[in-house]
Structure 1
Amino acid sequence: MNHPTNPQAASAAGVHAAGLRAAIAAEPAAPVVAGIQGAGGYGKSALLSQLAGIYQAAGIPVSSSPDASRDGAHLVDDAHLLDETSLYALRAIAEKPGARVVVAYRPGPRSHALSELIATLGAPVLLTGLGRDEVARGLPGPASREWIDWLIEQTGGVPRFVGRVTGTIDPSQLGDRTLPRLALEQFRHDFDQLGEHARACVTAMSVGAAPHPEVLASVLELDPGHVAGALASVRSGGLVDDHDMPWPIVRAAAQLLTPLEVRLGIVRRLVDAQLAHGGPVLPLVRPLLGARVALLPEATLSAAFEKGGDEALAEAPELAGRLFDAAVSAGVPESRVAARRARAAAAAGRLDEALRLADRVIVDPAVPDRALGVQVAASVLAHRGLLAQSADLCAWSVDNLRWSGDTAYAAVGLVGTGRLREADELLSSRRESGPPTSLSGAAAKLAGGVRESVTGAATSALSTLVRAAALADPVGPGVMLPDSPAAIAATVALHCGELDVAESSLAKAVESGSGGPLLEVRHRLLAAWVPLMRGDTVTARQALGSVPSELAARDRLLATALHAGIAGRDNDMTALTAIRGQARQAAAEHSPDLFCLLPLGELVVATARLHDQDWLTPYLHEAQALLSALGNPPLWTSMLTWKCLQAAVVVEDMDSAARHAADLGETAHHNPMSAAMAEAARMWLRVLDGQVDQDEAERAARGLHAAGLTWDGARLAGQAAIRTTDRKAMLSLLECARALQGKQPRPRAMSANAGEGELLSDREREVAQLVLAGLTYKQVGKRLFISAKTVEHHIGRIRQRLGCQSREELLDRLRELVGSEA
């Protein structure tokens, strides 16, 4: 008989555990025939115990054995362990009219008699892992959602495993992501019940063996048929997930409770098999790090540690370094992995160690991978702001050690440090080594694009560089380079106002991991430059916040200049003053080159605002000499000249401003940004002289905005507004400045909240409006024909009246009040 004979009883089967409990609790005397299926540890016994309590409370006797002579409810656990006679007897009881039978069993393996019984019981109640709320209710104290998710991940939500952790952990340690040793030791009983073969399978899978009968049979030297049965027992015991992978807590327990020599023997056989077939060994050798075996000479493990280091090198350089160290301890000659250890150290950010190791590799002809040593050293030197030395090393490599991209990166470094003739000679006399690959193609286009940026048109240079970045992206983090095509393409795009191109190139580089972790920070810093140029300091600050605090010299210069740019655009003189020392250090550590002109220009303006320009002057002169050696290429020269003009405006140095405006006029033909800066420079001279033409000022400001210099355009319009004597023109220019910053136009009538606006007198509103436009107290005083001290007095009274505790709070409040006025 394959189906239940009692329709009412059948309706109770197939529902979840809570439904079964509820049905029995609602009518204990009603017939019920149901099966409960769950692997070991999923709560079958607990559910049966709850049902027994319900029946007993209703006065119904409960039997736990297949005894037909006993009345009441038959609640039988572990039916998979019963003999054939008991199973048939239990089936006979279940087929009687009015029977109350609930049987719990594991998913498998099943005998024929058990299968017949299950068919009679019908669709089972399936027990699954605990959810987040269920786990939380069983904790000895409050815990975060993230920690509960971690616990479920470690245990699979298996109730027995969750209980082992929660029952052995101190309530004060909830949140500590370490499995208690006592919880792991409780698995000893589970493993003992499995039998020898099944336990061996769990151990093998816990150290990295695939859960496949043939693989396990080979590694454990067992019969495949025995392994298949053992795996069924492991599944039935609830020790693995749906893919037959042991739960993390099971893996940890197996490694703790299995002697090291047993695990090591299995790992050796697995490693031998993987090495023979070229398969990955990283999952096998990673758990051995830190164990005493990693420090002992061992041929198989030494080869495995070395190969594991190679596998981890691109994605996990810190781990790769530890694996190479273990390989050396296990017998690999130190010289054989020296270059790769240098690369791992560099990618992990340990630049001093990387350079020291790379130098040893380069000078020793007997060491393999010397070309990799050159790549590492050249990359580290570039990151440390020493592009000239990096270029020299790459150029030396062209004649001595060839690697894909050496000629191109030598040329990029030479052009970047003002040595165009040397770069041309190198490019004309040397070809790239090896076959044409994506990497060599990207490097060649990079060199061509950088040269074109100095000698040709901005559009063609940028197009070549973007194609170079596209070729390099698929390479991902697999190589180490002095700089990435994406970074240089973005730098050129920022110099000519193509902010969308810069943003796109950098986003793709970050997504692909181009250049590895060493260049990821550079990509993120340059990406923060895009919102900075647009005047979006909130986004720029957020982007900067994702960057680590410990940076190489090149990245530190970028980060410091970004901080300065944000502070300057926010009129935050306190923050600007605070980074003065950082700026000096960053500039001192970095030799000027083409690719650091953006941050240098930002520091030029920042030091002008601080009236502390003298220390930066020598670096500025070096950069200008470099540009002069390259023939003052407009693409690279214009932005630095523009920043020098802005610095002259800040200190109101008319002679310097006029000189920089003239220089910008000579480069106006090169690209739209240069043209916009040249027109705006002429307007600045008139603004400084008090000759403000509203239409011309707005046209120049909007031209800067269109060229990508949004904040600069808004500043020009705002400064023109406060220097004109025509109130109508002033209001129009202020609205222009607001529009360029993406702000809504201010209504021409008082807002409905006029009572707040009346907190300020007419004079205070004028002072507030000019302060919000960016004027200093001295400039506001000159504009309103009052002293700076009087302006300060007005601001003090406003702050007191509005109850503002900080300058930032005051400015926000003033924007609310004054922003509604005409």
Structure 2
Amino acid sequence: MNHSTTSRPALLPDGHAAGLRSVIAADPAASLVAGIQGAGGYGKTALLEQLARTYHDAGIPVFGANALDRAGEGAVLVDDAHRLDDAVLGELREVARRPGTRLVVAYRPSPRPAALAELIGELGAPVLLAALGRDEIAAQAGAVAPEWIGWLQAQTGGVPRYVSRVLAAAEPGAAELPPRALDQFQHDLDQLGEAGRECVTAMAIGATPHPDLLAALLDLDPAEVGSALLAVRAAGLVGADDVLLPIVRAAALRLAPWEQRLRVTRRLVEIQLARGGSVLPLVSPLLGADIALLPEATLAAAFEKAGDEALRDAPHLARPLFAAAVSAGIPVVSVAARQARAAAVAGDLDEALRLADQVIVDDAVPDRELGVQVAASVLAHRGLLERSAELCRWSVGKLRWPGDRAFAALGLIGSGRLGEADELLSSSDDAGPPTSMTGAAAQLAAGVRESVVGSAATALSTLVRSASLSEPVGRGVLVPDSPAAIAALVALHCGELEVAQSTLDRAIGAGAGGPLLHHRHRLLAAWLPLVRGDTVTARVKLQAAAGPAARDRLLATAIEAGIASRDNDMGALAAARGQARQAVAEHSVDLFALLPLGELVVAAARLRDLDWIAPYLAEARSLLERLGNPPLWTSMLTWKRLQAAIVLEDLDDARQLAADLDGMAHHNPLAAAMAEAARVWLRILTGQVDQDEVEQASRGLHSAGLAWDGARLAGQAAIHTKDRRAMLALLECARALQGKPPRPRAVRGGDTDLLSEREKEVAELVLAGLTYKQVGKRLFISAKTVEHHISRIKQRLGCANREDLLNRLRELLGR
């Protein structure tokens, strides 16, 4: 069959495979000269096969590089031109120059000898084959979850050949590379030659793909390594950053003999140890392997160093790494203190304390001071602050560690022993040079002391500076408490919620205090929305902040009780009682536990079950008395006790507590707002409700940081007033303080006509939270009459149950 030809080759509309296919499909007989460039696995062969079918379907014969003498009779398609010798490449160059030629040549980016470079010059700008995108992978994979498509793309880099291997062998949706797909890389690795295979194995173990490093590691010539790395790139085994694709790394580790892996690992570890580089990525894969249990000096040193790295970067690996170091020959005493620290960081406080105690009493342990630091920190986290302080004070005279004196003073003040703390702080000597950590600890102690004996503003400023100073070094330390946590507690006690929020946000972002204090910071962050009455946000933050320590459990339990109390969920409040009793029993009473203790006092009062918490409350009052009843710490607990007295309608106790608050009103704006609100509460309890006075006191609490307490004061005043206009105004005030918009009055005016004026009054009071008995006393009718009114309203509105009734009344009355 004769076919027409043109004197000029066709122009490709773009540099993509689709453009090449479309040009040939549109006119197979047309002259065309094109190159296809792509790394191994990117589909050069598949594309050439598609083009060959197009030519065959058009009746045009297809020839390869072995039949160039017949090039004028059809189309010439050549694969892997980078493997051809110079003579064949020269013939192809001549074919490309002939008029009417149909020639397509595929090749890898390298190697590129001079003859191939000249041929590429004749072919012009190549068609560049690219990795598959998510949509293209999804089209091949079929109906699987998008998350799995993303995983497959990440593992394979989108290289078409690797995608096909996984799809052919994997169970869709199972995020695990199938062994059969990994075994198919044996051929790809063999094509690289011995040097290339060794380079890939070394890179899979963790070596940087640098010719000099790999040459020293593998005892090869740098030029040979350079050529091998070019071949690795051309084979499509690495990404754009020259790092092995995950599937290639997994295959290389699977296919390389164990002896080779161990030899390369040992040599790489030696290089990294000599240069002070990281060894954690190199030896962590060895954990659990038999080799990790054998005496081996190089690996022993590597496991020990990797354990130190893991304490900062991967705490869950630190303990097994130190255990592997001991198995490989490191003396147990040399890592005992760090094993204790690793256990503490991992949250195993019992094991950490057991190991730390052994370290402290063993003179042979080289870093006993770390054991003291671990034990003191764990004791504080377990709610035993006074014991922690005693250990820190003992270490000041025996084993020094940065900040021991300051943390001893912190614990002593927190336990009510201010005089002893002052005596300790008066000594000028300290452990080691004045680092950021020692400076932060000193400011922490000074700030806490100021919060007890001086100004709230000065104390808070000092503590915030301490938190800022500790941020750069805070992630890798283990301490009894963090400056950020103490600063947040002081801020909460004096109503500076914005300061507490920003300080905790920075601490959480910086990872200050490591994993253990991370939980404490998040729990304190959950307290902030609780104070504002935002129980939804508080519950979400609480669920993400659970910690292993007794101190964390106490705080978490108090937040749960606070949420239940604010939501008026008596079932949840009762359920929290058992956890609360356990949490309080585990935790000694100290200055920094007063906030959750106060919340639990209110919860116990609502459950009419104060007896169990009374001894702890007595301890707290005794502690505060030993410190001289500092207003900053005393006022909040007094306020919570007042709320408990209000719940129990104990007017005598409420009067005394209001008087106590009045005596502390001078100290800070929050104390003043609580004192004024206490006076208003007393008048409300005796039936005296002055709308303006209530609104002023409620807004004062809100402005001082107790948003929910302000709203509650206004809401309860509305319940107690007999003036309907004042009741509605106070309810609106409560809504505003809760951040809710004003309620529209009679949104569905026609429907409210269904209710009589008396029924509307009853409905308003029921929605305000009054019981039938309270409604009856307010309206001078019996509780039974109130019940009859509610029954008639329910029937008239067609409500099936009480919940339907309340929702319908809220709608009708604009609530």
With structure 2 as the length reference, what TM-score do the two structures score?
Answer: 0.96
Provide the secondary structure at the position in 2 that maps to 1:429. Answer: coil
3-state SS of 1:102 partner: strand
- 1:473–1:509 Cα contact (<8 Å) kept: yes
Among all aligned residue pairs of Structure 1 and Structure 2, give the percentage whose two residues are the same amino acid. 68
1:175-227 deviations in Å (ceiling 9; x for gaps):
x3221111111111111111101001000111111101111110100111111
Q: Say whether the 8 Å CA contact 1:13–1:121 is kept in structure 2.
A: no
Q: Does 1:85 align with 2:87?
A: yes
Rounded to whole Å, the distance in 1 between the matches of 2:281 and 2:733 is 61
- Deviation at residue 170 of structure 1 after TM alignment: 2.4
Match of 1:261?
A: 259
Aligned pairs (5 A) from 1:559-708: 559-708=556-705
> Partner residue of 1:109?
111
Change (3 A) 1:780 1:407: farther
CA shift in 2, pair 1:465/1:238, >3 Å:
same
Partner in structure 2 of residue 723 of structure 1: 720
- 3-state secondary structure, aligned to 2:291: helix
Instruction: Report the CA distance between 1:587 and its aligned residue.
Output: 0.8
Residues 757/200 of structure 1: CA separation in 2 closer, same or farther (3 Å cut): farther
Q: Identify the residue that residue 74 of structure 2 maps to in structure 1.
A: 72
Alpha-carbon distance in 1 for matches of 2:52, 2:155: 32
Indicate how the Cα distance of structure 1 residues 14 and 699 shifts in structure 2: closer, same or farther if over 3 A, else same: same
User: CA 1:666–1:403 in structure 2 vs 1: closer, same or farther (change >3 Å)?
Assistant: same
Deviation at 1:253, TM superposition (A): 0.9
- CA displacement, residues 292-311 of structure 1 (integer Å, 9 cap, x when unaligned): 10010000000000001111
SS of equivalent residue, structure 1 residue 436: coil
Mapping of residues 136-155 of structure 1, within 5 Å: 136-139=138-141, 142-155=143-156
CA displacement 1:450-469 (0-9 Å, x = unmatched): 00000001011111111100
Higher deviation after alignment, 681-690 or 720-729: 720-729
CA distance in structure 1 between the aligned counterparts of 2:60 and 2:782, rounded to whole angstroms:
98
Deviations 1:317-350 (A, max 9, x none): 1111111111011011111111111111111111
Say if 1:719 and 1:253 are closer, same or farther in 2 by CA, change over 3 A. same
Contact kept, 8 Å, 1:12 with 1:33, in 2: the verdict is: no
Equivalent residue, structure 1, for 2:390? 392
Secondary structure in 1 matching 2:548: coil
Q: Who is 1:309 aligned against?
A: 307
Distance 1:122 1:769 in 2: 85
Q: Which SS does the other structure have where 1:103 is aligned? A: strand
Relative distance call for 1:432 and 1:25 in structure 2 (3 A) is same
Q: Separation in 1 of the partners of 2:528 and 2:498? A: 8
Match of 2:445 in 1: 447
Contact 2:7–2:100 (8 Å) recurs in 1: no
- The structural deviation recorded for 1:162 is 1.4
SS in 1 for 2:432: coil
> CA shift at 1:496, angstroms?
0.2
Question: Residue 120 of structure 1 is aligned with which of 116, 119, 122?
Answer: 122
The gaps in structure 2 that reach 5 residues or longer are: none
Shift of 1:758: 5.9
Q: CA deviation at 1:695?
A: 0.7
TM-score (norm 1): 0.95
| Letter matched to residue 769 of structure 1 | E
1:687 Cα deviation after fit: 0.7
Helix, strand or coil: the match of 1:314? helix
- My pick for the range that moved more, 767-776 or 204-213, is 767-776
- Corresponding residue pairs, total: 808
Q: Which amino acid aligns with 1:168?
A: A
Cα distance in 1, alignment partners of residues 541 and 794 from structure 2: 32
Deviations along 1:122-178, one digit per CA (max 9) or x if unpaired, are: 111111211111111222x5322222212111111111111111111124xx1x322
Which residue does 2:774 correspond to in 1?
779
Deviations 1:751-805 (A, max 9, x none): 2x44565676655544443344344454344334455566667667878857688
Aligned partner letter, 2:410? V
Q: For the Cα contact (< 8 Å) 1:407–1:431, is it kept in 2?
A: no
User: What whole-Å deviation, never above 9, does each CA across 1:73-131 have from its counterpart, x for those lacking one?
Assistant: 22211111112122222222222233222211111011111111111111111112111
- The root-mean-square deviation of aligned C-alpha atoms, in Å, is 2.1
Provide the rounded CA distance (Å) in 2 between the counterparts of 1:667 and 1:7.
101
| Change in 2 beyond 3 A, CA 1:146/1:760 | farther
Measure the CA separation in 2 of the matches of 1:793 and 1:581.
38
In the TM superposition, residue 816 of structure 1 has moved relative to its aligned partner by 4.1
1:461 corresponds in structure 2 to 459
- How far did residue 476 of structure 1 move? 2.8
- In structure 1, how many angstroms separate the alpha carbons of the residues matched to 2:597 and 2:136? 58
For 2:37 and 2:791, the matched residues in 1 are separated by 76
Distance 1:582 1:771, change over 3 A: farther
- Give the structure 2 partner of residue 61 of structure 1: 61
Contact kept? 1:310, 1:320, Cα under 8 Å: yes
- Alignment match of 1:129 (pick from 128, 131, 146): 131
- Distance in 1, matches of 2:782 and 2:25, equals 87
Report the 3-state secondary structure (helix = DSSP H, G, I; strand = E; otherwise coil) of the residue aligned with 1:652. Answer: coil
Would the aligned equivalents of 2:35 and 2:126 in 1 still touch at CA under 8 Å?
A: yes
Letter in structure 1 aligned against 2:559: L
d(CA) in 1 for partners of 2:393, 2:527? 31
**CA–CA separation in structure 2 for the residues paired with 1:732 and 1:429:** 60
1:165 aligned partner: 166
| TM superposition shift of 1:368 | 1.5
Alignment correspondent of 1:232: 230
* CA displacement 1:231-263 (0-9 Å, x = unmatched): 111111111112221111111111111111111
| Equivalent-residue separation in structure 1 for 2:70 and 2:149 (angstroms) | 47
1:386/1:223 Cα in 2 relative to 1: closer, same or farther (>3 Å)? same
Report if aligned partners of 1:13, 1:124 keep a CA contact under 8 Å in 2.
no
Distance, in Å, in 2 between the alignment partners of 1:329 and 1:598 is: 47
Q: Distance in 1 between matches of 2:533 and 2:703?
A: 13
In 2 relative to 1, CA 796–396 (structure 1 residues): closer, same or farther, beyond 3 Å? farther
When residues 119 and 581 of structure 1 are mapped into structure 2, their CA distance, relative to the original with a 3 A threshold, is same
